[in-house]
Structure 1
Amino acid sequence: MISIIIPVLNEASHIAEVLKHTLSLHGEFEIIVVDGGSNDATMQIVGSFPEVKTCISRKGRSHQMNAGAAMAKGEILLFLHADTFLPENSLLKIEAVMANKSLAGGSFFLKFDHKHWILSFYTGLSKINSSFFTYGDHAIFIRHSVFKKIKGYKPLSFMEDIEIQFRLKREGKFVKLPFGVVTSARRFVEAGPVKQFFLDVFLVGLYHIGFSANSLKRFYKDWNSSAKLKEQKHG
């Protein structure tokens, strides 16, 4: 079984559509939504899906994903962003590839719901099996036993998705599946696609050469549509 863990914070605008899509997938799975303190209608919406398990956690993706993993029953953990759609038969594809016991985990590549040349270029880079080009919105999946062995995500405010890949690859191989998840381009649209792309590359590059995640976090804006609408309403 696959445990699909979705950390949320003010995701009322996306979560219903993502849950409907995810529940329609084939395979044996459970969905666990972990709230980090939403102050919009996110959890009321999640509550309208009785099949979905929920829990509350300290704010922060690393804390939320660890909390979801702690209650997960699946042999494989799939960490899914609340604005990201898995491809058709994705769960069956994960189960098939993870039958290879030498694999510790893997991910999909990334596609966007918005057309722009830099986003198409980004999609191409995301097909490369490297921690430099593999992030949390690619739907990272990890063998549950390996996740426990490495003690899950470190409590970082940023770059937790890259950091865990370093430790995962000491335990087994990491695979990049030739199928794309589709995610919202909202942060690129908000900041400007080219500007956001080069900021991402710059920050990931600094992290890889030794800058701390916490020192880099101040240059990266957390953004979701619900929070943005709230800012506009009160601005």
Structure 2
Amino acid sequence: MNLSVIIPTLNEAEHIRSTIDSVRTSGPCHEIIVVDGGSTDETRAIAARRAQVLRADRGRAHQMNAGADAATGDILLFLHADTLLSKPALASARRAIRSGSVCAGTFRLQFQPSTPALRFFAACTRIPWMKLCFGDRGLFTTREAFDAVGGFPKWPVFEDLEMATRLANHGGFAHLSATVTTSARRFQRNGALRQQLHNLRLWLHYVAGTSPASVAHLYRYDEGRG
């Protein structure tokens, strides 16, 4: 089964090279598609030397849907621009899909650099609960399932959690033990406790069913903050 990796970007020159390289070292990959939302740094130039680069309207949901439209793989893997795949990740995703028992899944999370608090936050991703399936963990799905649920909802926030839930309801969801490593830059910039309390505030809005548009101002996806 061919696997396409789709990476939304916005001013990610610092991370995109390492992210693409981690995909290539993780195993065979049919194609890597970087979908840029209007970077003003060198993101597109760096990515173009290593992957196919597209442009789309700013916003992860728009960018990931555009990447999926262009992808030709049987499996689609959506990866944040500051997140690195581990070497077993791609093979683990393929095995899960080939088992026939699921149509989608995600990985466990690690942070780099790490701290005791961040190791605790990462350990929570061992819990197989759909409401913890954030996009920075990586999300993979079959093309058929992606099309069946209509792609990512065009929401300014929570599109990752909602997409994972819709996929699980469509055809089963795998919580893999393989890991991805995401940048701890937000925690470093804002403080681990302060950032996690902010994340919790947003998450509770999602659980409560708050309109994504009404809380979009609380989440910024810009200037390398994706």
TM-score by length of 1: 0.91
* Aligned positions of 1:1-235 closer than 5 A: 1-49=2-50, 52-222=51-221, 224-225=223-224
Deviation at 1:12, TM superposition (A): 0.6
Verify the 8 A CA contact 1:104 1:143 in the aligned structure 2.
yes
Partners of 2:165 and 2:88 lie apart in 1 by 28
Instruction: List alignment gaps of at least 5 residues for structure 1.
Output: 228-235
Q: Within 1, Cα distance between the matches of 2:100 and 2:215?
A: 35
Which residue of 2 is the match for residue 231 of structure 1? none
More displaced, 160-169 or 216-225? Answer: 216-225
Provide the aligned C-alpha RMSD in A.
1.4
How far is 1:21 from its partner?
A: 2.3
Residue 115 of structure 1 and its aligned partner are, at CA, apart by 2.3
CA contact (8 A) 1:132 1:205 kept: no
User: Are the equivalent residues in 2 in contact too, given 1:158–1:213 (CA < 8 A)?
Assistant: yes
Q: Secondary structure at the match of 2:107?
A: strand
Contact 1:118 1:193 in 2 (8 A): yes
Deviation at 1:224, TM superposition (A): 4.7
- 3-state SS of the aligned residue for 1:171? helix
* Cα distance in structure 1, aligned partners of 2:129 and 2:205: 16
Aligned partner of 1:2: which letter? Answer: L
The CA deviation at 1:177 is: 0.3
Matched residues, number:
224
Whole-Å Cα distance in 1 between the matches of residues 65 and 102 of structure 2? 21
C-alpha contact (below 8 Å) 2:79/2:138 kept by paired residues: yes
Residues of 2 paired with 1:129 and 1:188: CA distance? 24
Deviation at 1:162, TM superposition (A): 0.6
Q: Secondary structure at the match of 1:44?
A: helix
